[in-house]
Structure formats: structure tokens, C-alpha cells
Amino acid sequence: MAINVPAETIAEVSLAPARRAWIAAAIKFTRQRPIGALGAAIILVMAAVASLAGVLAPYDPLATDYGGMLAPPSATHWLGTDAFGRDVLSRIVYGSRTALLVGFGASVLGATLGVFVGVASAYFGGRVDLLVQRVMDIFLSFPLIVLALAVVVILGTGVLNVTLAIMVPMIPRCALVVRSSALAIREMPYVEAARAAGFGHARIIFRHMLPNVMAPYLIMLTAFLGQAILLEASLSFLGLGVQEPTAAWGLMLRGAAVEFAEAAPWMALFPGLAISLGVFGFSLFGDSLRDALDPKLRTL
Amino acid sequence: MAYLLSRLRGVGALAFLPVLIVGVVLPSPVMGQDKPRYGGELIFPVPSEPPSYDGHREETFGLIHPIAPFYNTLLRVDPRDPSGTKPIGDLAESWTVARDGLTYTFKLHKGVKFHDGSEMTSKDVKASYDKIIFPPPGVGSSRKGQYEVVEALEAPDPSTVRFHLKWPTASFLASLASPWNFIYKADILVKDIHWYETHVMGTGPFTFVEHVKGSHLVGKKNPTYWDKGKPYLDGFRAIFISSSSAQVAAIRGERAHIQFRGFGPADRNSLKASLGDKITVQESPWDCILLGAINHNKKPFDDKRVRRALTLALDRYEGSKALSKIAIVKEVAGVQVPGTPYATPPEELAKLAGYGKDINAARDEARYLLKEAGAEKLSFTFKNRGIPMPYEPLAIWMIDQWRRVGLNVKQEVIEAAAYYSVLRKGDFEVAMDFQCGYIVEPDLDIYKFISTDKNPANYGAYTDRVLDDLYVKQSRATDYEERKKYIRQFEKRVLDAEAHYLMTLQWHRIIPHSSKVKGWQITPSHYLNNQLDAVWLSE
């Protein structure tokens, strides 16, 4: 006998446990790690602001008003205006897009490439591992900002180039951490079994090794996000990152913001707070995520 | 008066007189009403250091500011003249110009001694100018192109120097007043023509004491200076500080008296607010302007309708009012510094494209021209030089102005050292360019805009023989009115009819200095008035 069940009911039945599990995990994470939850909340707010910038920003971030230059915070301009009469709040709201775009772009690309390099290096071992690790050592010998500066000098400025410039120094850092996990996984019986079964290198790496290094990957990714936002702001502040008139937090701190630091402190204060808050959010969340995913720490 | 002086500058004006004209050297000036006081050491920060000590070779104020006090030049720009356009004698006591305008004869002051005690004669002037105009291979001379008109020079007796020209030119005296043309000792140049790159020894009001690289350079009063009673100072100390905020801090802390290049309006306001009457502010239009170089080799910028639209979109008057509060720019200008003899008066300037007072009408015309040229909603990249002031605020303003006529402009900032190779290669659509001069003189100021095959520094990369012809005509015009007419035609063609280049706003020089500093007059050039012979300290 056939049972007629409405399609909506099937969907509800199949989705409900997954949604419940996700909500339960979130509640558990919030209870166990309230600091991390605070970080996640900051990130969520930032993401919401970035995606709804067109709705939330009271003014066009590029619109100048030469009659209202350097206006202090008021009911009209909540966070004041800059040296061109542009609304500081609107530029901060739109600046979150730049921060997240560059931050996510550079971190996801850098961490992902780093994972591939680290896993491949560990898997093949021998001379390949030796060579890859020495190249990584060369990259690691440069401080993050110096390497990013070098890349941006070669490639030039702009959102894409800055994303690449921040991505490059992240690859060796991620590769190093992932390699140490991958070295242990390489010796696992199921990897040995896969080899014995005659599976190709690509299948072993993608099907058996990569899924097992996801924890360090996620930890590195969140850690890099905060760093990437800070690095983008630093490069833009130095005039080597995103260029005017694009709204970007680091860019808002340079030029007239420095010259008018005494007369119009709001020009530097609010973008500075936005950078601090963004980096703070990612750092809190990243630390808590690391604690949650690290089995050693989980048992403590 | 300015008109009369400007007339006297032209060779044609000289030809009006029945006899050869004699330039009379006025007593060296002291600004202000107070009686000069002797003594004291003038301390001034210099934002960059001299690459060498040779003024003939170098091009930076980093050399002029600390090194000019050790030297004299044949002529100089009158240090009392705020327009910075009037040549007067320095080592030259007087001069005559032949009726045909082809021979200039200068009589030198007698009793002028070099700092080593030897006498300065016409042989030294000739040797110095030979080095500038006809440098032997391997010897750098940055301004020899400005003396292309000189056929030869001679020193018929120890106190006479004569220049023979290939054609008469109205700008010759002005070009001899170049602050870079230090008079060196001939005997030294004969032995080692590079000696002055690493040594300092002139006839100037101060003698060299020491230069500690990265720190300071010191000069002390020349007790045997030929201009009796000068200098007033016991000495000077140039301190090399690259950071603008540190320079301001030095003035604010009264550890330095003056910085001769200039500060921004924010620094001026903060110094005035913190020091009140202890600070005197001198301001002047600056003989520097940022230009929009429009690459004629890139489409659609080969179309003059598009180029006109770019200039029509700029509201220069509103820009002047707004940007002068945050950047070192102010005056709305054509091809000459406002207020100088050949500058176009504001009411005439307003007839040029982009200079009208009705910005809405101008922008309507810009939109119409863009539509007609099929360049509506045109997107392009504006390349800018990686120097913050005033390049950055000007670029933001220009992009904003273009946005208002529907253009979508992205800025790309090129690191300063790499910037000119980008311009030379023509690897841009529209880019920021600049023009700066040591003296306001049309020959020097509008040379920038002649055809690219005649001046490779014309980055618009166009050829315009009408402009070239007008340039030659104005340069050789011996009558003030005639020359002015050609300059106006040149200006109209370059900025309006063809819109080859677009001018932004004239730089504005702001010198907030200790009120103790007297006898120094601001001019439109930061290369002028650095001999310090007339400067004194009130306490």
C-alpha cells in the first residue's frame, strides 16, 4: 500500500535533524566558549554590514560635499565627515566589504594552496619534501609584511594585487603546519591500504589525506583572516594597497587623517576602531575554534 | 609698477631707449621697516639632502637650500620681489644689451674674493658658464638646454663678460638669474672639473664649516664679503629632517626658525594656534602645478571632444576653495603663475574651457561632448605619482569631478621612482604630471607643452606645429604686448581649442616661520631667496 506523504513534510523531516544538530552545536559552542561566540557574533555582524552596505550606509561613500568638510559627528553625519566631506560612517560600512573581500580572498586562497603544498610535500616525502620545505623556509624567513610589500611592489596596487600579495606569505605558514599533521596521516593503515590497493597519488591525497587535515586548515584559515584584514589595512595605510576613492579602512587612516589628527580625530578614530574590532573578532573566534577542534585541548 | 618692470624685462623695451640700457643694481634689500640686527645663527630644516654640492648638475631644493649661501650668481632674482620675476645684478654691477638684442655685456663688481682669498674675475664667470652651457663629455649640466640661444661668451677684460646670442630672446636675463648657476673658480675647474661636486668654495656671504651627512650642514659669516655690511647672521645651520611632522615639531619647539620649501595648511594652522604671534606666515602662489597628461595615442583620448570634456568637468573655483584647506594648492591658473606679468587675468581666463563660472553649463557641455564622441560612461584608469602631497588629494578631487559627468575612473598609484618610466613609455590613458620652475618666465613654463618630438617631457605625446610656432614667436618677441598676445594664443590652444593638457590648481606655498626671522621674502619658487645675505634675526 502506497503512503502519500506531502513533499513539504519530507523536506521538513529530512532537514529538521540537520538544522537541530547545527543549532545544538552552536549553543554548545556558545556555552563552552563564550569568548569565541562573541568573536563569531562580531564576524557575523561584519558580514551582515558588508552584504547590506547599500541599505545600511546613509550616504554614497564616494559622494563629496565640499561645504561639509571635516564636520564633527552630528545627527546628520553620525561619525563625522572626512577632508572631502565624505560621510565617515558610510565609508566604514563600505570599507567592511573591502576588508572581508581581501581578507577572505587572501586567507582562503593562501590557506588552500598551503594545504595542497603541505600535504603533497608530506605525502611524496624524500627529495620532493626536502626541496619544498627549503623553498618554504626561504619564504618564512621574511616577515609577513615585508613579503607582502615585496609582492605588491612587483604586482602593483589594487584590490586583486593586494589580495595576492597577502596570500603569498600565507602559503608557507599553512603548508608548514599542515605538513606536520599530514606526515602522521601518511603512516596511517588506511593510507597504506589505499596504496596497496593501487590507488593513484591524486586519489590518496584528495580522498584520504586532505579530509583529515581539515582541522588545522580551518584553524589556520580563521587565524589568517584577522591577519589578512590587518595586513590589507597596513598596506592601504602605506599607500600600497587599495587606492582612493575606494572605501577601505586602512586608507581612511592615511593622508588628511594624519594631518588633521588633532582637528578632526574622528577621521582616524572610527576606522581604527573598525579595524581593531574586525581583527579582534577573528582572533577570538580562531582561538576558540582551535581549542574546540584540537583533541588534546578538548580533553583538558 | 609690475607692468613697467615687465616691460623693462623685454629686449624690445630696451630697444626703445636711445642709448644702450644700463641695468642698475639696487642696494641689496632688507625687507621690513626695522633696522637689521647683526648676530645669531639661523636654523632651518631641509627635507632632503644634497646629492652632490654642484648646483650646475643637481635639480633638487635639497642642494639649493643649504648650499646657495656659499655662492653668488651673475644675476639673481630680486629678493624683494614677491612675484619672483625681476632679475637684478648679483656679481654683475651693471649690464648693457646691444640694439639688435644679440650681445649682452656685463660689468662685474670689483674686489670680490673667493673664500680662499683669491680674486674673482670675468675668467671665473666665463669658466662657470662654459661648464653650464658647453659641458665637456661626462660632465652633467641639468639646464644647458635653456641656453641653446648662446653662441659664445667671452671675457675681454677682468671685469667684463659678454654673451653672444644666436637670436634675440626676451627671456635671457631671466635665465641668467637662475639660482643654480653658482660662479666657481676657473683655476679649480681647469684642474678638476668635478671638484665642485664634492667641495664647496664660492664668493657667497657664508663660508663652509662642515657637513655631517644625515644630520646637518653649517656655514659661518664670510668676514670679507664683497657686499659691505652683509651678511647680518653669524652663521646658519641646515638640519636634514625628512619627516614633515618632525620639521613642524622643530619649528613648534623653537629649535628651528624656518623651513624654506613649505608646509601644508593643517601644519600652518596648528603652528599658528600653538605659537600665536611667535609665528609669521608668508604665503604665495607657487610656480608649480599638477597637470593632467592625456595620452593622445590612446583611444578615445585622441578625440579632442573627450579631452575637452575632461577639463570641462572640473570645477576649479570650488576645488580651489575646498582643497586649499587641506592641500598645498590654491589659485586657479592658466599657463602662467597668477599675478605675474604674462598671466591671463581671471576674467579672460574664465573664457577658456573648464574655467567658466557656470559649472552646470560646463558639465552639460562635457556630457554632450562625451555622448557625441561615443564615450558616454567612459571608464579609464588614472595613473598617479606615489607622493602624497598634493598628488593624492588632487587625484581624489579630479576623480570625483569626472564622476559627476558620468565617467568611471579608477586610480592606480605608481611608486615615485618608477613613475616617470611609465609616463615615458606612454603606458597610461590619463596621468598626473607636473611643471615647476625656478623663475616665472614663459619660455621655461610653456616649453612643457610643445610637440613631443621637440620636448620628450610632453607626455601627452602629441604633435602640434601651430603650438610650436607660437612658442618660437613668443620667445623671440621683443615687445611685451606682442609676446603677451602669442602667449594667450598658445594658452587658448593648449587648454581650450585642442585641450591637449589639463591644468589643475596652482600650488600654494605656505611658509610659517619664527617671527624672529626678518629680511626674507616669499616668492613663487622654493629655489629662490636662499642666499641668506639679507636675512637677520630680531633676537
Taking only the tens place, the pLDDT of each residue in B482-508 is 999 999 999 999 999 999 999 999 999
B422 is written with which cell numbers? 611609465
> What are residue B216's DSSP bridge partners?
B212, B239
Q: Give B285-508's CATH code, choosing from 3.90.1150.10, 3.40.50.1820, 3.40.50.2300, 3.10.105.10.
A: 3.10.105.10
- Could you tell me if B426 and B296 are in contact, meaning their C-beta atoms sit under 8 angstroms apart? no
Measured between its terminal Cα atoms, the distance across chain B in Å is 34
Nearest to B180 by CA among B139, B134, B234, B131: B131
Number of A–B residue contacts, CB under 8 Å: 60
pLDDT value of position B33:
53
For residues B512 and B279, give the distance between their C-alpha atoms in angstroms, rounded to a whole number.
Answer: 6
pLDDT value of position A154:
85
Amino acid residing at B178:
S
Q: pLDDT confidence of B122, banded at 50, 70, 90?
A: very high
pLDDT value of position B21:
35
Do A263 and B411 make contact, defined as CB atoms within 8 angstroms? Answer: no
Task: Establish if A166 belongs to a structural domain.
Answer: yes
Task: Among B269, B322, B413, select the one facing A243 at the smallest CB separation.
Answer: B413
- Could you tell me if A240 and A153 are in contact, meaning their C-beta atoms sit under 8 angstroms apart? yes
Sign of CA dihedral A278, A280, A283, A285: negative
Q: Is B428 an 8 Å CB contact of chain A?
A: no
Which chain B residues are within 8 Å of A156, Cβ to Cβ? 412, 414
- Residue A56 exposed, middle or buried by CB count within 10 Å (0-12, 13-18, 19+): middle
- Could you tell me if B252 and B274 are in contact, meaning their C-beta atoms sit under 8 angstroms apart? yes
Which residues lie closer than 8 Å to B373 by C-beta, 6 or more apart?
B300, B303, B305, B306, B309
Nearest chain A Cα distance for residue B428, angstroms: 14
Name the stretches of chain A with pLDDT < 50: 1-2, 299-300
Task: Establish if A43 belongs to a structural domain.
Answer: no
> What are residue B99's DSSP bridge partners?
none
Which residues lie closer than 8 Å to A260 by C-beta, 6 or more apart?
A70, A83, A267, B266, B326
pLDDT value of position B397:
96
**Chain B residue with minimum CA distance to A64:** B400
CATH of the domain at A280: 1.10.3720.10
Which chain A residues are within 8 Å of B386, Cβ to Cβ? 239
Give me the residue label for grid cell 609616463.
B423
Give me the residue label for grid cell 637670436.
B167
- pLDDT per position as a tens digit, B369-416: 999 999 998 999 999 988 788 999 999 999 999 999 999 999 998 877
- CATH of segment(s) B2-205+516-537: 3.90.76.10
Do B414 and A66 make contact, defined as CB atoms within 8 angstroms? Answer: no
The CA–CA distances, whole Å, from A168 to A223, A249, B281, B312, B535 equal 15, 22, 49, 44, 56
Amino acid residing at B224:
T
pLDDT value of position B15:
36
Which residues lie closer than 8 Å to B387 by C-beta, 6 or more apart?
B416
**Chain A residue with minimum CA distance to B399:** A245
Task: Establish if A86 belongs to a structural domain.
Answer: no
Task: Among B267, B270, B411, select the one facing A244 at the smallest CB separation.
Answer: B411
Q: What is this structure's pTM?
A: 0.80
A8 is written with which cell numbers? 513539504
Average pLDDT, chain B: 90
Nearest to B115 by CA among B244, B205, B246: B205
Structural domain count, chain A:
1
Nearest chain A Cα distance for residue B526, angstroms: 22
Question: Under DSSP, is residue B206 helix (H, G, I), strand (E, B) or coil?
Answer: strand
Nearest to B168 by CA among B24, B13, B23, B340: B13
Nearest to B55 by CA among B264, B215, B200: B200
Task: Establish if A205 belongs to a structural domain.
Answer: yes
Q: Is A83 an 8 Å CB contact of chain B?
A: yes
Which chain A residues are within 8 Å of B397, Cβ to Cβ? 64, 84
Question: Under DSSP, is residue B238 helix (H, G, I), strand (E, B) or coil?
Answer: strand
What beta strand segments (E) does B250-378 contain?
A: 279-294
Do B400 and A64 make contact, defined as CB atoms within 8 angstroms? Answer: yes
For residues B77 and B181, give the distance between their C-alpha atoms in angstroms, rounded to a whole number.
Answer: 12
The CA–CA distances, whole Å, from A110 to A224, B301, B519 equal 9, 40, 62
- Residue A55 exposed, middle or buried by CB count within 10 Å (0-12, 13-18, 19+): exposed
B62 is written with which cell numbers? 635639497
**Chain A residue with minimum CA distance to B321:** A66
Do A239 and B395 make contact, defined as CB atoms within 8 angstroms? Answer: no
* Burial letters A244-277, b for 16+ CB under 10 A, else e: bbbbbbbbbbbbbbebbbeebebbbbbbbebbee
Sign of CA dihedral B189, B190, B191, B194: positive
- pLDDT per position as a tens digit, B167-188: 998 889 999 999 999 999 999 9
Q: What are phi and psi of B11, to 5 degrees?
A: -60, -35
Task: Among B322, B393, B412, select the one facing A156 at the smallest CB separation.
Answer: B412
Q: Which of A243, A252, A258 to probe by mutation at the B interface, max B CB count within 10 Å?
A: A243
pLDDT value of position A15:
55
Nearest to A106 by CA among A116, A96, A114, A94: A114
Torsion angle, alpha carbons of A254, A260, A262, A264, to 10? -100
For residues B27 and B12, give the distance between their C-alpha atoms in angstroms, rounded to a whole number.
Answer: 26
Nearest to B437 by CA among B83, B119, B137: B83
Measured between its terminal Cα atoms, the distance across chain A in Å is 55
Q: Which of B243, B396, B403, B407 to probe by mutation at the A interface, max A CB count within 10 Å?
A: B396
pLDDT value of position B19:
33
Task: Among B267, B399, B413, select the one facing A157 at the smallest CB separation.
Answer: B413
The CA–CA distances, whole Å, from A202 to A123, B283, B339 equal 10, 71, 76
Extents of the domains making up chain B: 2-205+516-537, 285-508
Task: Among B322, B403, B412, select the one facing A66 at the smallest CB separation.
Answer: B322
Range of the domain at A234: 97-300
Q: Return the CA Rg of chain B.
A: 24
Say how far residue B379 (Cα) sits from the centre of its chain.
Answer: 35
Q: CB count, 10 Å around CB of A198? A: 7
Sign of CA dihedral B160, B161, B167, B171: negative
Do B396 and A245 make contact, defined as CB atoms within 8 angstroms? Answer: yes
B16 pLDDT above the threshold of 60: no
Nearest to B500 by CA among B359, B299, B289, B310: B310
Vertex B537, ends B531 and B539: CA angle to 5°? 170
Q: Is A157 an 8 Å CB contact of chain B?
A: yes
Q: pLDDT confidence of B25, banded at 50, 70, 90?
A: very low
Q: Which of B384, B400, B408 to probe by mutation at the A interface, max A CB count within 10 Å?
A: B400
For residues A102 and A246, give the distance between their C-alpha atoms in angstroms, rounded to a whole number.
Answer: 13
Q: Is B390 an 8 Å CB contact of chain A?
A: no
**Chain B residue with minimum CA distance to A82:** B326
